[in-house]
Structure formats: C-alpha cells, structure tokens
Amino acid sequence: MKCRKCTNRAAINMRQHKLALCPEHFIEWVQQQTERFIKKYRMFTRDDRVLVAVSGGKDSLALWDILLALGYQADGLYIGLGIDGGIDYSAESHRCVQKFVEERGDGLTLHVVDVEVLYGASIPEAARSVARGRGKPCSVCGLTKRHIMNRVARDEGYDVLATGHNLDDEAATLFGNTLQWAVGYLRRQGPVLPASAQGLARKVKPLFRFYEREMAAYALLRGIEYIYDECPYAAGATSIRHKELLNELEISSPGAKLQFYLHFLQAREQYGIFQPQDSTVELHTCPTCGQPTTNPEQCSFCRTWERVREQMTKRPTAKATNP
Ligand code: Q46
Ligand code: ZN
Ligand code: ZN
C-alpha cells in the first residue's frame, strides 16, 4: 500500500480515517493533528508552561516528544512508585524516561518525585499497610499520583498539566462510566478539565483522539524507547476488558471508538448534559497540604498517608514486598 501523500510505502493504514501514510508523513500528520486538537479544544498556547506527566510508557513519552517538536514549553514529571512486580517495573520505566531526556540533550527539565523517598513507603507498601494486604494498590496509587502532579504543577508555577491518555483509554473509561451511569465521573471526563479551584491544576489530554496503535507506531518511528509492559497491577482490570470489547467493535465498524467518544462530547455541548463544572460541590483547603478538597478537614491523600506512617511505625520490620 502506498502513502497518500507520496509514492513511498505506507507504514500505517488507519482504516477509520481511510488514510495510509509513510513514516515521514505519518510523523508529520500526528504532530499536525496534535497541534489542531490543542487549538480546537483551547488546551494551551506557546506562552504557557506545560508539565507533562511521563510514566515511561509510549503515550506520555510520545506526547512530550510531540510538544517539543511543536515548540511548546514542555517539561516532564516522573513519579517513582516503587513497583517491582518481578519485572523491575518502576526502575525500568524510570530508565526509559531518563534515556529520553539524555538523548535530547541539555535544556530539558525533568522533575522526579520518588514516593518512597518522600513519604517513607513505596505504593505497594503503603497499600498493604492501609488495606492490610487486601486488594490492589490502585486507589492509593491514583490518589498519590494526582496529589503529586497537582503539587508540582502548583509549586513550580505550571499553567497546565498534560497527560498521555489516548482514545482507547478515554473510550474505555467512558464505556465503563456509561455502563454504571456514573454521573459524577462522566462530568469529570473530557479532554480539558479546568482548574476548578485555586491551587487545582488545569488538566489536558492532547492525545485523546489518537488510537493506541497510532501512538505505538509514532513512538516506534521516532525511535523512542519505552516500557512495553503494563504496570503489573493493571492485569485483570475492568478497563482492559472494556478495551477488548471496544476493539472487537472497532474491527467490524472502523471508527466506532472515535465516534463513541466524540458523540459524547457533542451531546455535552449540544444538550448540556454531564457538564464538567459542578458548582454544588464546596471545596475546602486541606490544613496539612493546602490542596483543595471536598472534605471539610484533611484531604484523603493526607489522611491516607498519615495512616500509612502510623502503620509503618507500628510494624517497623514489616517491610512489604512487591507482587
Ligand atoms: S494505578 Fe494501579 Fe496504575 Fe498505579 S498501581 Fe499500577 S495499575 S500504576 S495507571
Ligand atoms: Zn509519504
Ligand atoms: Zn492534604
């Protein structure tokens, strides 16, 4: 198959767009499309300082690469979670991020926050001590990552926080939330989440219209080394099953995923349903960390980590092991 724009062989065929492109034109297309989405959804401008949350995976590193190629002021934030999982997950993901930074030379800023160094326990240890070994550490992990991202964005004066969520992630989340009619979550879903209170960073997802395979192809063609493995705790997650279901649908109806997500955004705009702003929620300032919270007292992050520290001091030798 030939590239739509030149006579070279196509590297990727995107059935949903009826578009096949060679490596050079595919890279150009991804970057131009990202620029278009950033403008269309008013995510940020070249005057804004953007903090990109990089996990070491293909999407976040591709996002950072694209923003740099487009000339945006983009710095990175890597959060070390202390997850091993038999594959050195955190160490390996950190290595990929570090390699990305080194390859691009001086002038790139990467903030690194190591959860264990800063708060005294890795994510699996923290989860074990508060949940007594039951369940996955994902809720503690999500809570901690959100807190750190927000804190770094606020303390370092960034205008916006960008994450590498792609269409497959967003469509699967939307699918899960719709199955549950989880109105609260549906209100909070979208490519742009405005800063809802003083001290809460504005969040954007510039890759939300790209399929996962497009991002994998982009990372590969740009020579970005990324961690292939998912976090070991992601196995068995409902969102993975939802992704599989949507992929099955996509095979028989190319573009189904994209339409599902775009029609949700359109319905929100046209009919005013699931509007992101919920003015009925009153926010307070956490007396410990100063971040906005719906709790009248301490925020859930501070309460959780206080409990973790209590448990860790009670059982100083009970150092939890990773899965
Ligand atoms: S929440 Fe759970 Fe992820 Fe944290 S513990 Fe791993 S799977 S990384 S997005
Ligand atoms: Zn071409
Ligand atoms: Zn707090």
pTM of the model: 0.94
For residue 294, is it within any domain?
Answer: no
For residue 131, is it within any domain?
Answer: yes
For residue 156, is it within any domain?
Answer: yes
Instruction: At 219, list the tokens.
Output: 């990372």
What 8-state DSSP symbol labels residue 9? B
CB 124 within 8 A of CB 320: yes
User: From residue 241, how far is each of 58, 137, 306 by CA, in Å?
Assistant: 20, 19, 34
Q: Rounded to whole angstroms, how far apart are CA atoms 269 and 282?
A: 24
Crossing angle of helices 138-155 and 300-314, in 10° steps, is: 120
| Chain center to CA of 197 | 21
Those residues with Cβ within 8 angstroms of residue 264's Cβ, 6 or more apart along the chain or in another chain: 174, 189, 274
Mean pLDDT, rounded, for 297-301: 93
**Domain housing 216:** 43-276+302-314
DSSP 3-state assignment of 24?
Answer: helix
CB 293 within 8 A of CB 299: yes
Ligand nearest to the CA of 124: 1
Residue among 71, 91, 69, 70 nearest 80 (CA):
91
Radius of gyration of the chain (CA): 20
Residue 133, pLDDT above cutoff 70: no
| Chain center to CA of 113 | 16
Count of the separate structural domains present in the chain: 1
In this structure, the residue with its CA closest to atom 2 of ligand 1 is 138
- What pLDDT sits at residue 317? 53
For residue 35, is it within any domain?
Answer: no
Mean pLDDT, rounded, for 70-91: 96
What 8-state DSSP symbol labels residue 203? E
Mean pLDDT, rounded, for 217-231: 97
What 8-state DSSP symbol labels residue 85? T
Those residues with Cβ within 8 angstroms of residue 172's Cβ, 6 or more apart along the chain or in another chain: 239, 242, 243, 246
Res. 278 pLDDT band, cuts 50 70 90: low
Higher-pLDDT residue of 236 and 12 is 12
Q: What is the DSSP string of 99-133?
A: HHHHHT-TT--EEEEEHHHHHSS-HHHHHHHHHTT
Provide residues with CB under 6 Å of ligand 1: 123, 137-138, 141-142, 231, 233-234
Mutate to test the pocket of ligand 1, among 78, 141, 143 (most ligand atoms within 8 A of CB): 141
Those residues with Cβ within 8 angstroms of residue 217's Cβ, 6 or more apart along the chain or in another chain: 11, 12, 26
For residue 123, is it within any domain?
Answer: yes
DSSP 3-state assignment of 51?
Answer: strand
- What pLDDT sits at residue 323? 39
Mutate to test the pocket of ligand 1, among 93, 233, 322 (most ligand atoms within 8 A of CB): 233
Instruction: At 14, list the tokens.
Output: 């995107």
- What pLDDT sits at residue 320? 42
How many CB atoms within 10 Å of residue 185?
Answer: 15
For ligand 1, the distance from its centroid to the CA atom of residue 109, given in whole angstroms, is 24
Q: What is the DSSP string of 43-101?
A: ---TTSEEEEE--SSHHHHHHHHHHHHTT-EEEEEEEE----TTTTHHHHHHHHHHHHH
Q: Rounded to whole angstroms, how far apart are CA atoms 130 and 311?
A: 7
Mean pLDDT, rounded, for 140-145: 96
Q: Looking at ligand 1, which atom is closest to the CA of residue 138?
A: 2
For ligand 2, the distance from its centroid to the CA atom of residue 61, given in whole angstroms, is 24
Instruction: At 264, list the tokens.
Output: 């949700």
Q: Looking at ligand 1, which atom is closest to the CA of residue 237?
A: 7
Residue 62, pLDDT above cutoff 80: yes
Q: What is the pLDDT of the chain when averaged over all its residues? A: 92
For residue 207, is it within any domain?
Answer: yes
In this structure, the residue with its CA closest to atom 5 of ligand 1 is 138
For residue 27, is it within any domain?
Answer: no
- pLDDT (tens digit per residue) in 227-252: 999 999 998 889 999 999 999 999 99
For residue 28, is it within any domain?
Answer: no
Query: 49-53 and 160-162: which strand pairing?
Result: parallel
Ligand nearest to the CA of 303: 3
Q: Looking at ligand 1, which atom is closest to the CA of residue 55?
A: 8
Mutate to test the pocket of ligand 1, among 83, 89, 122, 231 (most ligand atoms within 8 A of CB): 231
CATH code of the domain covering residue 129: 3.40.50.620
- pLDDT (tens digit per residue) in 185-212: 999 899 999 886 667 889 999 999 999 9
For ligand 2, the distance from its centroid to the CA atom of residue 108, given in whole angstroms, is 30
